[in-house]
Amino acid sequence: MKGTLYSLALGLGAAAASPFIAARLARPPKRAATLARLGLGPLAQPPALPAGGIWLHALSVGETISALPLVRGLRERFKGKPIAFSCGTGQGLATVREKLGHQVDAAFIRPLEMPWAVRPVLNDLRPGLAILVEGDLWPGWQWALAERGVPRMLVNGRVSPRTLKGYRRLGPLARELWRGFDLVLVQTATDRERLLSVGVNPRKVQVGGNLKFDSAPADLDEAQRSALAEELGLAGRTVLVAGSTHAGEEEPCLEAYERLKERVPGLALLIAPRELERGGAVARLAQERGLRAARLSQGPAPEDAQVVILDMLGQLAAAYALGAASFVGGSLVPVGGHNLLEPAAQGVPVVFGPITHNFLEMARDLEAAGGGRRIETGAELAGVWGELLEHPAKARTMGRAAREFVSAHHGAVDRAVAAAARLLEGGHG
């Protein structure tokens, strides 16, 4: 009965969203991924795999990157088992193919719970364990896996204040959503308490740590930094890096750069918008201020470029290594912040805004460790960046503290792999 009612609600929701779906289908870059989310086209259909393997699902690029070391850990532990990896976006799938390649036996876009899509996917995968990374919870998939007796596990779970409010509004429906998991590994004790407060079974919720600590890239050595700077057209220059920015955040970054560029000869601002397609808009913002802008998607930056837009997939984590200081976006606008560990892992001072509920404890602890600085408004960015440029010894100390903070928090992958082994060996219920 619940499945029928849910299918009816899903159908009504799809009908209401049809204008949005039609708009995405009309855009060639989005068409294949949108069709796949509807359960149509080759991207939505994995190859047939031997039974008993592991299926991981991550919504988009950020979650996929978090899961990279987990996939490697699972591959090492379960050498004979097939591993499938699905995403909810085209960019996520591109990241899987680029970063994991031969380490997964199938990579595809998981459809929404369309009646014609669920059964064929599960018939081809025949998983022995399903692992969800962070979110993208859909009850239909949970029910379908439960019908086949497949244990379900969530890793890297987090519950933001906004998400918690949503769960409280849903009431029993929220408990039903989480009841489908045999085990939930959340990032922090705060996340666990929030799930318990909405009635999730405490025996199923454990603190597993944050996979992002284990997925943080190794810091580049001097030769690698020099090669990357040469490749991007930034060799020999002092660089400020603003990563994962959203509309409303580029303006403070550009304003800070304008105030600092005369004080530091050859200073460059590298901006990486969260949505790559906004590269042109960011370039126009810089040009409207009379700044010379270059988009790296169109080639290396010319020597006279002042603002360089990193509008290419998969480059930001390494590009942070070029920074004398950084700013991580999603934190001056109500998004909740993005991954602070990428600049921290490169030993670069990390500046972020006041809105960090996506990484609440990480932001707090990084600041307490001396590797991060929180600003309350965009107007403060120029002051903090200027201080770090003027006092390089202070910047080095802050960067070293950031790198040590990342190193001290490794271990989430080992805990997740051990939990996966227990479930595969029949320890669920």
| Residues catalogued as catalytic | 63
Residue 108, token pair as written in the block: 């595809």
Amino acid in position 418 = A
Residue 47, token pair as written in the block: 């190859």
Contact 340, 62 (CB under 8 A): no
Q: Cα–Cα–Cα angle for 343, 348, 349, nearest 5°? A: 100
Residue 403 to residue 412: CA distance in whole angstroms: 17
Phi, psi of 133 (to 5 degrees): -100, 110
Residue 164 to residue 194: CA distance in whole angstroms: 7
Classified as helix, coil or strand, 49 is coil
The full DSSP string for 361-428 is HHHHHHHHTTSEEE-SSGGGHHHHHHHHHH-HHHHHHHHHHHHHHHHTT--HHHHHHHHHHHHHTT--
Residue 163 to residue 146: CA distance in whole angstroms: 25
Residue 191 to residue 193: CA distance in whole angstroms: 6
Please name every residue paired with 293 in a beta bridge, in sequence order, or none if there are none.
Answer: 307
| DSSP assigned state of 122 | H
Residue environment code for 97-107, b if the CB has 16+ CB neighbours within 10 A, otherwise e? eebbeebbbbb
Residue environment code for 363-384, b if the CB has 16+ CB neighbours within 10 A, otherwise e? bebbbebbbbbbbeebebbbeb
Contact 240, 257 (CB under 8 A): yes
Classified as helix, coil or strand, 218 is coil
Q: Which of 422, 416, 419, 57 is nearest to 214 (CA)?
A: 416
Residue environment code for 54-74, b if the CB has 16+ CB neighbours within 10 A, otherwise e? bbbbbbbbbbbbbbbbbbbbb
